[in-house]
Chain A
């Protein structure tokens, strides 16, 4: 078995703690060892993955350093939590999950390099990782070439579908269309000002938004603006907004720019008392940096808020805080990252195999009833059926749930009429 010769993954203090945690569970692990025998390694792993009788190795590929560490830390934590919980409950097919963590360092080529390392050298059975579209685009050819399995947590622009990727966040139409319908119907918004950071996700999102506004809502787009990533001065833009007087500002600004944007909006007198604003790029994580008091009363459209009131979420939030401190916050992407390992577990168990081809084939139709956001299901196009929700930003950095779509929304990465 090639996996027995696999070099020990490098140690980090974190990993050691993790290994110790697993070692303290022998009583639990023992009976499941018996379970592993009913799934012999030779049978569940025909493609030379790092699977032994006792454990299975997965990769985790996020930015722990660099500018994206701000956003990706939550995902790293959530995936860790999910894996720990799965291990505590007996692992997958009687095998404990072991994690090899790699740092993409906010640098797309590094992501590609590390992805290749995980797949070729470590032979991991699945990878949980990536955050930005750019990092996903960088690793995608690697995953397709080396036939790996990636669970990607971020809401993103769509226009992509791969056998080797499960997208656990929303694709653009799921997040955008229902939210626009809501502001149109409930808040009577007819004219929109679209703002975004200058890269593919905001641009595609606004393209879809514009088509929907003009084509279906019979509304008007009175402005569409893009600013470079990391831009910190929005005063001229704010004046343009004032000139255009839109019913609703539709904001897809990301990263450090977000903070500058909302602080300067507030300082220029654009607050929720006077202006309707809907964003798809502000989660609880971003609110840490912006400060809830600086954008209170604005709306965000996501599939998950930390404040969701359901038993699954209560358990999840409690476990997350127990592990990462009472002050930890959970954003939409963090929750989506948490789904990854659980969905993978369900799929492997259905397929009865760790082989990537079988996992990919078994993915459509996989359900996860324990999801903090509520019930989710994998679509044939490897995206998730999920609900859309509107939350109102509160001054303490949390959201108040205002509305949610009655049904699960079908993912449609290549929406007809929106391209």
Chain B
């Protein structure tokens, strides 16, 4: 019995189980279908946050361009759905029936060849994961092999996000431009807008999310996970031990990208459209804050963080439209300054030890595997020295 209690408090499997109950049982029972659909939308962002835990928390690599991969996955799915929504019958008012409406508005008279494969659902599902992975591989290969990291990597990913946005907006005949791809209706004849399909999509999304969490957990527990942590904290020593640091980083970057792609596809299915406003710099940074609020070291925390920030955003923008930007600002600054490990950090350092003391008579070992809770993820966890400003030898941006 005591063992069970201790397990509930310390094991990460238990925390996943609790999250599962919250998402699979509590939410669907308490929220109406409109709110549930919103939660489903938030949970599709959670894929990105989970990916960021792996990339940022474990890998020590901050990408401010995760929206790119989210967008690629989302657009791949949207292209499939848009093709299905643009059959000649419903588009007969156009000058060229049978092609998506935005192509017609931009004087395209035939479907571009690179759109053709998206008639196939199988191809689309593969593309949802493969396209982000390939792009992540290219970027990762170019950057990590040359030992670019830290802030510099963050800015380059931002540049990529910007470029993709400009491309999508500029090539509106092929992509729908600023408007994005709207009015998506069915998937193989199955109406994705019905209430019943919203439920199905919600559950599909939730189950995929848990699968993602388990995969990430597996990676964390494997040798690769240990090495990632080691690299984050003392890159040189890992390198001197004979490991190729870059390969692990490329791997985790691709993994995060695939998760983003999945999230994007689930987003498109649940919301019914995709637009470039998910690709750019702003959404990418917002997604980072989801992970930061939940705790950049905790997979489960990232999901809670995503839910919390988005609930907050929806609630505050409904109630105090003038104030919500201030609140967002406070959230960003507050989390970074006061709770660098987010909700999960608070749980680890304040709540859990107390619970353990109360409930477990024997002096339990408080720590569960990976990080010491106070770890500051990007550099050594030395307490602030009086000089306050210095880190080690060089703060050259390419080395951080």
Which A residues are within 8 Å of any B CB, using their own CB? 10-12, 64-65, 101-103, 105, 107-110, 112-114, 116-117, 120-121, 132-134, 137-138, 140-141, 145, 157, 159, 198-200, 203-204, 207, 228-229, 414, 419
24 intermolecular pairs with C-beta atoms under 8 Å apart: A10-B318, A10-B320, A12-B319, A64-B321, A65-B325, A105-B317, A112-B272, A116-B37, A120-B34, A134-B178, A137-B179, A138-B179, A138-B180, A198-B172, A198-B177, A199-B169, A199-B172, A199-B178, A199-B179, A200-B172, A200-B179, A204-B105, A228-B166, A414-B93
Chain A residue at smallest Cβ distance from B182? A137
Interface membership of chain B positions 170-211, coded 1 if the CB is closer than 8 angstroms to chain A and 0 otherwise? 101000011110110000000001000000000000000000
| Residues of chain A contacted by B106 (CB below 8 angstroms) | 203
| Inter-subunit contact A109/B271 (CB<8 Å) | yes
Known A113-B314, A120-B34, A141-B183; judge A229-B178 contact (CB<8 A): yes
Closest 5 CB pairs of A and B: A10-B319, A103-B321, A134-B179, A199-B178, A120-B34
Q: Does B107 interact with chain A (Cβ within 8 Å)? A: yes
Stretch from B10-18, B273-281, B290-298, B342-350 that touches the partner: B273-281
| Residues of chain B contacted by A157 (CB below 8 angstroms) | 105
| Inter-subunit contact B178/A65 (CB<8 Å) | no
Known A107-B277, A112-B271, A414-B93; judge A198-B169 contact (CB<8 A): yes
Known A12-B319, A103-B317, A228-B166; judge A200-B102 contact (CB<8 A): yes
Classify the secondary structure of B's interface with A: helix
Q: Does B391 interact with chain A (Cβ within 8 Å)? A: no
| Inter-subunit contact B105/A159 (CB<8 Å) | yes
- How many Å lie between the Cα of A210 and that of B38 in the bound state? 43
| Residues of chain B contacted by A65 (CB below 8 angstroms) | 317, 321-322, 324-325
| Inter-subunit contact A134/B319 (CB<8 Å) | no
A138-B275, A141-B272, A203-B106 are known; give 11 further A-B pairs, CB within 8 A.
Answer: A65-B322, A109-B273, A109-B277, A140-B183, A157-B105, A198-B169, A198-B172, A199-B172, A199-B178, A228-B169, A229-B178
| Inter-subunit contact B182/A102 (CB<8 Å) | no
B317 to chain A minimum Cβ distance, whole angstroms, is 5
Known A138-B182, A203-B172, A204-B105; judge A121-B34 contact (CB<8 A): yes
- How many Å lie between the Cα of A101 and that of B319 in the bound state? 9
Partner of B321, one of A12, A112, A121: A12
Partner of B182, one of A140, A198, A414: A140
| Inter-subunit contact B34/A419 (CB<8 Å) | no
Which B residues are within 8 Å of any A CB, using their own CB? 32, 34, 37-38, 41, 93, 95, 102, 105-107, 166, 169-170, 172, 177-180, 182-183, 193, 271-273, 275, 277-278, 314, 317-322, 324-325
- How many Å lie between the Cα of A10 and that of B169 in the bound state? 36
| Residues of chain A contacted by B319 (CB below 8 angstroms) | 10-12
- How many Å lie between the Cα of A274 and that of B308 in the bound state? 58
| Inter-subunit contact B180/A207 (CB<8 Å) | no
| Inter-subunit contact B34/A117 (CB<8 Å) | yes
Known A134-B180, A138-B273, A199-B178; judge A64-B322 contact (CB<8 A): yes
Chain B residue at smallest Cβ distance from A13? B322
| Residues of chain A contacted by B105 (CB below 8 angstroms) | 157, 159, 200, 203-204
Chain A residue at smallest Cβ distance from B319? A10
Known A199-B172, A203-B106, A207-B107; judge A141-B317 contact (CB<8 A): no
